[in-house]
Amino acid sequence: MRISVIGCGYLGAVHASAMAELGHDVVGIDVDERKIADLSAARPPFFEPGLPEILRSATDSGRLRFSTDIADAADADVHFIAVGTPQAHGRDAADLTFVDAAFEALIPHLREGSLVVGKSTVPVGTAARLADRLAEAAPHASLAWNPEFLREGYAVKDTIEPDRLVYGVADERAAFVLDDVYRTAITAGTPRVVTDYATSELVKVAANAFLATKISFINAMAEIAEVTGADVTQLADALGHDARIGRRFLNAGVGFGGGCLPKDIRAFTARAEELGLAESVAFLREVDAINLRRRQRVVDLAHELLGGTVNRRRIAVLGVTFKPESDDVRDSPALDVAVQLKGLGAHVVATDPEGIENARLRHPQLDYVDDTTEALRGAELVVLVTEWREYRNLDPAATAALVDAPVLIDGRNVLDAAAWRAAGWRYHGLGRP
Ligand SMILES: NC(=O)C1=CN([C@@H]2O[C@H](COP(=O)(O)OP(=O)(O)OC[C@H]3O[C@@H](n4cnc5c(N)ncnc54)[C@H](O)[C@@H]3O)[C@@H](O)[C@H]2O)C=CC1
Ligand SMILES: O=C(O)[C@H]1O[C@H](OP(=O)(O)OP(=O)(O)OC[C@H]2O[C@@H](n3ccc(=O)[nH]c3=O)[C@H](O)[C@@H]2O)[C@H](O)[C@@H](O)[C@@H]1O
């Protein structure tokens, strides 16, 4: 099929490449000239495992090309909208400016039978509004909503082998067209839910709200564990043996961040408030508050462990991205902790395998080093806040030899506390004795 993907960020660049990998003829469109130049040269503009390979093979085969000119989307039968929906400045609501602009720019290029497919995460009601606009401006085209559930770090696999497909459609034909797009996954047995616009939009925000709630639930238990001497990691293991609960997404620590979970729960709350349903999702405010308290907890612990002040103390911060296997620093708990410590006068030396460039753009005031050894050397406190494999694999004795004082906050509860203590470290997990 001929496909256009409008918006080539973390979602769209992977979607465009994966669709081409599946055999479709794809054009990726973005307003960012640098991004398009990079993608056209098969250089991924961000770190995502597996993307370099499929981007290269698809561009080499001629099935994938990129452009800044939306007119180049005109030949496509299916147009995916994958532009950003960030948190609006100074408000909780989603900023739909990019979705609206992309949609309007596309309208003149729609032909008889064109299908516009929304992929961006939007507040419930957006698709119906856009469908009304389409009926007025391009009645020969139609709209579907097809939310995306990929995780950064696994984006290529999640796109090619999704765990489910959700189609929000107004007519059967749109579902048939989407079946053609996703033929490979459907043939492999991927479950598909065909529904209305509102349900499809809600599935997406409900999924992220549920994941965020699960993380904040275990972090609330960590708060209780901290006061009672219990161990939240053992608690999570025990809870997880109950198949109804499950162990995944019960890792207590510095909490969730990224370009999606935090802004999606806030946008959901704002939308519910607009609909007069504030009470229905009032708990999401609590989920957000618990999450932000965990960052503060790490900063407070740093104070405590350094004898009451972080001022002028050298702190090694391991990790700046919101999670491993990504270079994304949007709303990163790790970076937030580093910035707060710096604001309190600490000499923060931050390191990360992939995120330094993005972190430096946002927070140039921090000292960044590429090399973990260099970050650790002379540290009076080590704070592990993103659980990259190389930090999980650090040797406690060798690390102790580098630092000035063997004091550690394991902000992701990933290190073997007993082994670190045996090597002479004052080890502090979150929610662990
Ligand atoms: N990043 C992720 O893992 C996932 C993101 N999503 C959703 O996908 C959407 C996109 O997210 P990301 O890719 O992370 O954002 P992003 O910020 O990385 O990418 C958005 C892209 O859209 C481009 N853009 C903005 N206006 C445009 C226009 N008028 N025409 C063409 N391009 C335009 C921007 O230049 C940028 O490259 C959001 O709604 C997000 O919530 C959904 C699932 C996963
Ligand atoms: O809408 C989106 O953009 C995506 O948001 C999340 O994906 P992602 O943001 O890539 O990352 P996750 O793996 O969900 O992790 C989010 C945050 O939660 C944290 N986390 C995760 C799991 C856990 O047990 N504890 C925990 O603190 C991670 O460190 C990270 O900061 C969802 O998992 C995807 O399904 C969704 O498509």
Task: Kindly provide the b/e burial profile for residues 328-348, where b requires at least 16 CB atoms within 10 angstroms of the residue's own CB.
Answer: bbbbbbbbbbbbbbbebebbb
> Are residues 76 and 161 part of one domain?
yes
Q: Which ligand is nearest to the CA of 46?
A: 1
The answer to whether the predicted template modeling score (pTM) of the entire model surpasses 0.90 is yes
CA-proximal residue: ligand 2, atom 28 (nearest): 256
Closest atom of ligand 1 to 35 CA is 37
User: To test the ligand 2 pocket, which listed residue (211, 251, 294) has its Cβ within 8 A of the most ligand atoms?
Assistant: 211
Which residues contact ligand 1 via a Cβ below 6 A? 6-12, 29-32, 35, 82-85, 98, 101-102, 105, 120-121, 148, 150, 152, 259-260
199, burial (CB in 10 Å: exposed 0-12, middle 13-18, buried 19+):
middle
Rounded Cα distance between 389 and 393, Å, is 6
> Are residues 17 and 78 part of one domain?
yes
CA-proximal residue: ligand 2, atom 17 (nearest): 256
Q: Is 151 in the pocket of ligand 2 (CB under 6 A)?
A: yes
Q: How confident is the model at residue 53 (pLDDT cuts 50, 70, 90)?
A: very high
Question: What per-residue confidence (pLDDT) applies to 144?
Answer: 98
In a domain, 207, yes or no: no
> Are residues 278 and 132 part of one domain?
no
What is the Cα Rg of the chain in Å? 23
> Are residues 176 and 47 part of one domain?
yes
CATH of the domain at 281: 3.40.50.720
In a domain, 28, yes or no: yes
Residue range 266-309, pLDDT digits in tens: 999 999 999 999 999 999 999 999 999 999 999 999 999 999 99
Q: Is 154 in the pocket of ligand 2 (CB under 6 A)?
A: no
Closest atom of ligand 1 to 46 CA is 18
In a domain, 198, yes or no: no
Enzyme catalytic residues: 260
> Are residues 217 and 186 part of one domain?
no
In a domain, 203, yes or no: no
Range of the domain at 364: 212-429
Q: Which ligand is nearest to the CA of 80?
A: 1
| Residue 11 token pair | 């979602």
> Are residues 178 and 219 part of one domain?
no
Residue range 220-248, pLDDT digits in tens: 999 999 999 999 999 999 999 999 999 99
Tell me the ipTM for this assembly: 0.99
CA-proximal residue: ligand 2, atom 6 (nearest): 151
Rounded Cα distance between 265 and 159, Å, is 23
> Are residues 177 and 217 part of one domain?
no
In a domain, 163, yes or no: yes
Task: Count structural domains, the chain.
Answer: 2
Q: Contact, 37 vs 179, CB < 8 A?
A: no
- Which residues on neighbouring strands pair with residue 410, listed in sequence order? 384, 429
Residue range 162-193, pLDDT digits in tens: 999 999 999 999 999 999 999 999 999 999 99
> Are residues 164 and 264 part of one domain?
no
